[in-house]
Amino acid sequence: MEKSTTDLFWHLVEDKAGVKPATEPQIFTRVFTSKESHWERFRTVKGETGTIISDFTLSGEAFEEDLDPMAHVEIEPRCHPKVLHDTTLDLGWSVDAAAVKERVERGRKPPFEKGGEGKSYGRRAIARQFKTLDLSRERLRAAQVPFTLSGIDGGFAGAVPNLEDLSISGHKVQRVENLPPLVVNLNAHCNLIRSWPTLPNNQIRHLGLSGNLIESLAVSLPREAAAQLTRLFSLDLSSNRIPSLPSIDPLLYLPSLKQLLLQGNPMCLLPNYRRRVVSSLPGLDTFDGSQVLENERDTALAMKRERLPGETPTPA
Annotate 73-98 with DSSP letters as a single string.
Answer: --STTTS-HHHHT-TT---TT-TTHH
Whether the per-residue pLDDT at 251 is higher than 60: the answer is: yes
Please tell me what DSSP assigns to residue 13: I
DSSP 175-228: ------TT--EEE--SS---S----S-S---EEE-TTS----STTTS-HHHHHT
Over residues 111-124, the pLDDT tens digits come to 777 777 778 888 89
DSSP 148-171: EEEE--TTHHHHSTT--EEE-TTS
3-state secondary structure of 144: coil
Mean pLDDT of 154-161: 92
Q: Is the dihedral of CA 3, 8, 14, 16 positive or negative?
A: positive
d(CA 297, CA 283): 9
Whether the per-residue pLDDT at 259 is higher than 60: the answer is: yes
Per-domain residue ranges of the chain: 2-126, 130-305
pLDDT of residue 1: 83
Mean pLDDT of 276-293: 91
Q: Kindly report whether the global pTM for this prediction surpasses the value 0.95.
A: no
Whether the per-residue pLDDT at 136 is higher than 80: the answer is: yes
pLDDT of residue 296: 86
Higher pLDDT residue, 301 or 185? 185
Whether the per-residue pLDDT at 261 is higher than 90: the answer is: yes
Residue type, 41: R
Whether the per-residue pLDDT at 20 is higher than 90: the answer is: no
Under CATH, what is the fold of the domain 130-305?
3.80.10
CA-angle at 222, arms to 270 and 267, nearest 5°:
10
pLDDT of residue 208: 96
Q: Phi and psi (nearest 5°) for 205?
A: -110, -30
Over residues 38-95, the pLDDT tens digits come to 444 444 444 444 443 333 343 344 333 333 333 332 323 333 334 334 455 678 899 9
Number of other residues whose CB lies within 10 A of the CB of residue 43: 10
Burial of 207 (0-12, 13-18, 19+ CB in 10 A): buried
Q: What is the mean pLDDT of the chain?
A: 79
The rounded percent of the chain whose pLDDT value lies above 90 is 47
Highest mean pLDDT among 25-29, 71-75, 145-149, 228-232: 228-232
Whether the per-residue pLDDT at 264 is higher than 50: the answer is: yes
d(CA 54, CA 47): 21
pLDDT of residue 22: 73
In 3D space, the residue among 5, 51, 309 whose CA is nearest the CA of residue 156 turns out to be 5
Higher pLDDT residue, 314 or 133? 133
pLDDT band at 306; cut points 50, 70, 90: low
Higher pLDDT residue, 47 or 127? 127
Over residues 188-214, the pLDDT tens digits come to 999 999 999 999 889 999 999 999 999
Whether the per-residue pLDDT at 160 is higher than 90: the answer is: yes
pLDDT of residue 232: 95
Judge whether 208 and 169 are in contact, CB under 8 Å. yes
d(CA 279, CA 77): 47
